[in-house]
Amino acid sequence: MRQVRRIAPIVLVVAAAGCGSEPQRENLERPAPPVIMTAAVQDEVIRVSPRAVGAGQIELVVSNQSDAAQTVTFETDELGGRLGGNRVSSSSIPAGGTGRLKIDARQGVYSVSVKDDAIRAARVRIGPPRESGQNQLLLP
């Protein structure tokens, strides 16, 4: 009869060098979730909803309900260039089509306009920064 030997498993513990020497990392607040605004470009006017939001990331969804292709521009109405001197413009949106602009807006008054002078621009008020999204569920 053959004898079977059992070998006890060996547990290897490795100690990390310098354990506890890493600096503590601060938990930073998440930015406010983006706000979705809508804009309708009509033959005589641009309508934006909502017309006032807090500062932060904005996604402007534009519906071109006019008879011609349009390029929509989101820019400051005040001196000093609150968008860092830049304005944000969409690509050409065909008549009956839609487009999107992503904007990181600071507090101030802005206009949403097109090159066609016959179409009146809309004004948008951007208020103080919105609250952090720290305890809000993130959705895709």
pLDDT per residue as tens digits for the range 87-123: 899 999 999 999 999 999 899 999 999 998 899 999 9
pLDDT reported for residue 77: 74
Residue 44 tokens, joined: 């005589």
Name the helix (H) or strand (E) containing 40.
strand 35-41
pLDDT reported for residue 96: 95
How do residues 33-70 score in pLDDT, each as one tens digit?
Answer: 889 999 999 999 999 999 999 999 999 999 999 999 99
CA distance 106 to 34: 13
Closest by Cα among 121, 63, 131, 136 to 87: 121
Alpha carbon 52 to chain centroid distance?
16
Q: In b/e form, how buried is each residue of 57-67, taking b as 16+ CB within 10 angstroms?
A: ebebebbbebe
Give the domain ranges of the chain: 35-129
- Could you please state the CATH topology (level 3) that the domain comprising 35-129 is classified under: Immunoglobulin-like (2.60.40)
Q: Which residue's entry shows tokens 């979730």?
A: 33
Task: Please state the pTM of the whole predicted model.
Answer: 0.71
